[in-house]
Structure 1
Amino acid sequence: MSGLLSPSSPELKEVDFAQLGHYAKHLGRAPRAKHFALTSGERHAHVKGQGLEMLELRAYQASDDLRHIDWRVTARTGQAQTRLYAQENEHQRLLLMDLSNEAYFGTKYSFISTRFVQLAGILAWRTKQQGDKLAYRLCFGGQDIWQQTTPLLAKLFQPLSQASSIGSRGHSVSSLQILSPNLISLKARNKDVIILTDKQQLSRPETLYLKQLAQHNKVFWVQIVDANTFKLAPGQYQIKSTSDEALVNISERSSTLAQQAFLRQNQQLKKQLNQLDIQHLVFDLSEPPESIARYLLSLGAIG
């Protein structure tokens, strides 16, 4: 079995993140970028040249470069029109990761939290390899760590390693911290936003905040679940936490009810996200992290 699919420990160290770089490099090629439509006055680049892609056509403004006036359209409409361009290979990415207590669990392979951290590591490596820009906010174990400018990978891998620590399990909060007001996401514009979380309930303030985020960015919501949780054989299980151990009784009925509740909740989340034009992507824990990253690549979420 692959060491990446099923690492020897759910807690990832420096050597584990070094290994992820190889997988990031061999994901394949990204599709042609589809940039988020810019609003009037916002633009990625002012200079037209090789490697630039036209984003939109709008009415000429006094600050525009005369070289970018589309004279053919101007003549046809009678009003000066300016072409706006952006670098075809320019990707600005915002990574938001929020883990609950339940993420530090897995029936097979590893923990859900570990898979999220592996995926975040691959995304970070890929961003560096493609020369793209990355900002991030990581919420786990009561911590809120964020970086607005492209970090050194070692600076990101340190909190990611902490996020994989089982000790974070006892300090998580139920709400989505990444959807609380914060400089890094309040000012996010024209970015590919990737949300990694096992949480699947949205409060009204969180929904409103997501709506604002999706208005100015392309947002992907990535969820990882462990389907085997609902397939455990009836019986008594010993569950160990950071502080103590407990016996949990599981019956066929309790598993069925838990699965039904989960599916109802997940369908409600999907409906909410679809209404906000946010892609809701659900993967099972049995899916290797590089396969998840490759799917995000196919959607244009990463370069």
Structure 2
Amino acid sequence: MSPLLSPVSPELDDAHFALLGHYAKHLGRAPKAIRFASQTGERRSRQKGHGMEMLELRAYQASDDLRHIDWRVTARTGQAHTRLYAQENDHQRLLLMDLSNSAYFGTRHTFISTRLIQLAGLIAWRAKQQGDTLSYRLTFGKEDHASNRSNTLPTLLTQLKNASYIHNRNHPNNNNSVWSNTLLTHKTHNKDVIILTDKQYWDDSEESALMQLAQHNSVHWIQIIDSNAFNLPPGQYQMADETGVKQVTISKQSMQRAKDSFFSQNTQMRKKLSSLGIRYQAFDLTESPDKIARYLLSQGALH
């Protein structure tokens, strides 16, 4: 079985994060996608490398740059042809990961928290490999980390490793959403924003901050769901939370109530995200993180 799908432990080590770097390198190429453009007239202007990406080859026109004439095609056809290029900008993205104590749970393969952390690691490695700019904010347990500096991959991977530790579920949930109450998100414009969280609700002030983020950026929301959690057979289970380990009795009725409550909240969340223009996608815990990363690649969230 794939070491990404079912890691040896939900607590990830340095070797696993190195493996994520290998998988990130072999995700493939993103299909050409419509890049996000602000309605307020803001444009991305930082050029990356040569700054040019060829779009097509066509017959030469008087306004074309002579440096872009394709002399081989011109010689073969007897008619001047020129290459059309599009400016390739520095791809800037913001990674937001927010884990509640409930995320440190899973019935198959690994924990929901681990899957989200793996995906964050793939995103971090991919940005480094492509030379893209990556800002981030991570909230888990009692910790809150953020950075908008370049060359922070080792620090980010260390923080992600710390996020995978199970003791983080012993702390109450952070009341504030990862996108609110921070200058990092308040000043974010013209970026691909990737939100990784198991949380499904927020208050009015947090919704206002999320609306502002979606107005100025292309926002992608990824959720991991353990569908098998609602199919456990009736019986007694030992469950751990911030108060310790206790026995929980599960009946068919209590399981159905929990399932109905979860999916009711989920439906409301999806409607809110859709109204804000946020792209939402849920994946089951049985999906490998590299498959989820390829989805983000297909959506233009990764380069």
TM-score (norm 1): 0.84
1:239 paired residue number:
239
Inter-partner Cα distance in structure 2 for 1:87 and 1:226:
42
Residue deviations 1:218-256 (CA, integer Å, cap 9, x gap)? 001111111011000100112245763211101111111
Structure 2 portions without partners, runs of 5+: 56-84
- How far the C-alpha of 1:28 sits from its partner, in A, is 1.2
- How far the C-alpha of 1:43 sits from its partner, in A, is 2.9
Inter-partner Cα distance in structure 2 for 1:228 and 1:261:
15
User: Residues 106-255 of structure 1: matches in 2 within 5 Å?
Assistant: 106-241=106-241, 244-255=244-255
- How far the C-alpha of 1:89 sits from its partner, in A, is 4.8
Secondary structure of the structure 1 residue equivalent to 2:18 = helix
- How far the C-alpha of 1:88 sits from its partner, in A, is 2.1
Instruction: Give the residue type in structure 1 aligned to 2:177.
Output: Q
User: Residues 11-160 of structure 1: matches in 2 within 5 Å?
Assistant: 11-39=11-39, 42-45=42-45, 51=52, 87-160=87-160
Structure 1 portions without partners, runs of 5+: 55-84
Inter-partner Cα distance in structure 2 for 1:101 and 1:230:
18
Q: CA RMSD in A?
A: 2.1
Residue deviations 1:161-189 (CA, integer Å, cap 9, x gap)? 11101111112425343132211111101
Change (3 A) 1:219 1:53: farther
CA contact (8 A) 1:224 1:284 kept: yes
Change (3 A) 1:38 1:272: closer
Instruction: Give the residue type in structure 1 aligned to 2:275.
Output: Q
Inter-partner Cα distance in structure 1 for 2:302 and 2:148:
18
Residue deviations 1:80-110 (CA, integer Å, cap 9, x gap)? xxxxx98425210000000001000001100
Inter-partner Cα distance in structure 1 for 2:237 and 2:120:
31
Instruction: Give the residue type in structure 1 aligned to 2:95.
Output: L
Secondary structure of the structure 2 residue equivalent to 1:161 = helix
Inter-partner Cα distance in structure 1 for 2:166 and 2:24:
25
Change (3 A) 1:50 1:96: closer
1:298 paired residue number:
298
Does residue 256 (structure 1) correspond to residue 272 (structure 2)? The answer is no
CA contact (8 A) 1:35 1:190 kept: no
CA contact (8 A) 2:96 2:194 kept: yes
Change (3 A) 1:123 1:38: same
Change (3 A) 1:53 1:141: farther
Secondary structure of the structure 1 residue equivalent to 2:94 = strand
CA contact (8 A) 1:140 1:172 kept: no
Instruction: Give the residue type in structure 2 aligned to 1:187.
Output: K
CA contact (8 A) 1:283 1:292 kept: yes
The aligned length equals 272
Inter-partner Cα distance in structure 2 for 1:180 and 1:53:
39
Identity %: 53
Inter-partner Cα distance in structure 1 for 2:12 and 2:108:
17
2:269 paired residue number:
269
CA contact (8 A) 2:107 2:229 kept: yes
